[in-house]
């Protein structure tokens, strides 16, 4: 006796297979699908999608779009499969065609699918960059941008990955695209300014930092970056009047930064250095009276810098120079001695002590100091020349000749 239950199941299986077979389209005799083939293929694809038979659905949809390139539905369905399979280029191609054909009908669904794929790659990129897997991050952010080129965040993160990989020009390009879409992102302007600085493009650097400062005028960090930009541009310009104006802008930005953050040692150091340089320049090109206000400002900033960081040798040296140029010799020597206490091999501070001793006619002290200099740096020509002069003033003829001979030998060696 026949088992009717098994027969029923068998018939069902045959019907299921026949539906799939009858719904599948192939190529016409000419080798190219016709519109009729496309219609059959689209119906087959719908069935395969319902059955989650994605490979077969993709195959039928490819026939459908070849036979009828104007079928928005076929392009939409094929783009959706490519989206699920992370084939970004193919996804974009078919979604773009669907949008051209029937944007009103498929626009929201296409955007939703793109959002999902974009988010997937963007989040993967964030996780990768957090784990210092920079090449992986670059790949993921690049795919995110490819999925949706209208999102500024994708370009910002792509730019960051490029900069972290020292691919500066590509980082600049990505940030420029991001800011064209979202010009009110302060941090993006700052990062772009840093990239311009590293690329040696000071004009652009200043522009980026000025934009950031306009967006957040109360940020001490942005203001300190702007100082860096003004300095870079001033150093690069050959117009002395413009350079002076840029240095003035840098000093003004320092003052604003310190007003916002009085305990910012880095800015205090920069402010002190800038004012000291301006003072020294004026002392040689104008008058001492013109220079004095800048020396006084430099002194205040450098004292602040040293108070904030008592182990900052360079700031101590600059403060000592500031005192020395103001002829506050006792204060200068005291600061230079603190500098050499921090670093006993600080030749520059030792030399400044010696020069002050020379000015104060302390010949014995100066001799001792410049011997210390030559012990640390045996090829210090100026120290040997001063020793020769000092020995001669003390009628120490033999030592004067020896020091002079050493200085001359070092000069000859340098010339050769």
Cα dihedral across residues 308, 314, 320, 325: positive or negative? negative
Interval 305-318: pLDDT, tens: 999 999 999 999 99
Quick one: what percent of the chain has pLDDT higher than 90? 87
Residue 295 has pLDDT above 70, yes or no: yes
Q: Which residue has the higher pLDDT, 2 or 232?
A: 232
What is the Cα–Cα distance from 399 to 394, expressed in whole angstroms?
10
Q: Would you state the pLDDT for residue 191?
A: 97
From the number of C-beta atoms within 10 Å of its C-beta (0-12, 13-18, 19+), residue 244 rates as middle
The answer to whether the CB of 342 falls within 8 A of the CB of 316 is: yes
Q: Measure CA 90 to chain center.
A: 33
Q: Would you state the pLDDT for residue 194?
A: 96
Q: Which residue has the higher pLDDT, 415 or 78?
A: 78
The answer to whether the CB of 90 falls within 8 A of the CB of 82 is: yes
| Degrees to nearest 5, angle at CA 337 with 332 and 343 | 130
Residue 2 has pLDDT above 70, yes or no: no
Largest alpha-carbon pair distance within the chain? 138
What is the Cα–Cα distance from 299 to 293, expressed in whole angstroms?
10
Q: Would you state the pLDDT for residue 19?
A: 36
Q: What pLDDT band is residue 32 in, cutting at 50, 70 and 90?
A: confident
Q: Which domains does the chain possess?
A: 353-416 (1.25.40.10)
What are the CB-based long-range contacts (under 8 Å, 24+) for 161-170?
A: 161/125, 161/129, 161/134, 161/137, 162/138, 163/191, 163/194, 163/195, 164/129, 164/134, 164/137, 165/134, 165/135, 165/138, 168/195, 168/198, 168/199, 169/199
The average pLDDT across 48-69 equals 95
Q: What pLDDT band is residue 393 in, cutting at 50, 70 and 90?
A: very high
Q: What pLDDT band is residue 30 in, cutting at 50, 70 and 90?
A: low
Interval 332-354: pLDDT, tens: 999 999 999 999 999 999 999 99
Q: Helix (H, G, I), strand (E, B), or coil: what is residue 189? A: helix
Does the model's pTM come out above 0.85?
no
Q: What pLDDT band is residue 23 in, cutting at 50, 70 and 90?
A: very low
Cα dihedral across residues 8, 9, 13, 14: positive or negative? negative
Q: Would you state the pLDDT for residue 26?
A: 52
């Amino acid at each position: 006796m026949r088992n009717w239950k098994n027969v029923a199941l068998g018939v069902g299986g045959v019907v299921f297979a026949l539906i799939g077979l009858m719904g599948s389209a192939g190529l016409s005799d000419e080798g190219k699908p016709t519109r009729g083939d496309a219609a059959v293929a689209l119906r087959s694809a719908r069935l395969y999608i319902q059955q989650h038979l994605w490979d077969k659905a993709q195959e039928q949809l490819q026939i459908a779009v070849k036979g009828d390139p104007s079928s928005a539905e076929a392009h939409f369905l094929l783009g959706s499969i490519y989206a699920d399979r992370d084939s970004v280029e193919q996804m974009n191609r078919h979604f773009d065609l669907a949008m051209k054909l029937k944007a009103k009908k498929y626009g929201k669904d296409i955007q939703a699918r793109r959002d999902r794929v974009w988010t997937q790659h963007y989040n993967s990129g964030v996780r990768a960059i957090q784990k210092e897997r920079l090449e992986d991050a670059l790949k993921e952010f690049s795919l995110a941008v490819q999925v949706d080129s209208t999102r500024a965040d994708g370009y910002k993160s792509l730019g960051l990955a490029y900069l972290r990989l020292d691919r500066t020009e590509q980082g600049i390009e990505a940030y420029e695209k991001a800011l064209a879409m979202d010009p009110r992102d302060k941090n993006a302007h700052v990062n772009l300014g840093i990239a311009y600085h590293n690329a040696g493009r000071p004009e652009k650097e200043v522009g980026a930092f000025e934009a950031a400062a306009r967006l957040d005028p109360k940020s001490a960090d942005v203001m300190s970056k702007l100082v860096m930009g003004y300095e870079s541009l001033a150093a690069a310009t050959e117009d002395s009047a413009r350079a002076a104006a840029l240095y003035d802008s840098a000093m003004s930005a320092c003052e604003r930064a310190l007003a916002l953050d009085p305990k910012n040692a880095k800015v205090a150091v920069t402010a002190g250095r800038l004012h000291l340089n301006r003072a020294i320049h004026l002392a040689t090109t104008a008058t001492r009276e013109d220079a004095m206000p800048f020396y006084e400002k430099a002194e205040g900033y450098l004292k602040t810098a040293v108070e904030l960081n008592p182990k900052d040798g360079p700031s101590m040296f600059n403060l000592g120079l500031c005192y020395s140029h103001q002829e506050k010799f006792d204060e200068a020597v005291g600061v230079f001695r603190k500098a050499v206490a921090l670093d006993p091999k600080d030749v520059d501070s030792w030399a400044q002590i010696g020069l002050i001793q020379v000015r104060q006619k302390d010949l014995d002290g100066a001799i001792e100091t410049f011997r210390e200099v030559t012990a640390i740096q045996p090829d210090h020509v100026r120290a040997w020349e001063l020793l020769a002069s000092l020995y001669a003033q003390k009628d120490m003829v033999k030592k004067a000749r020896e020091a002079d001979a050493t200085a001359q030998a070092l000069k000859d060696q340098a010339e050769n």
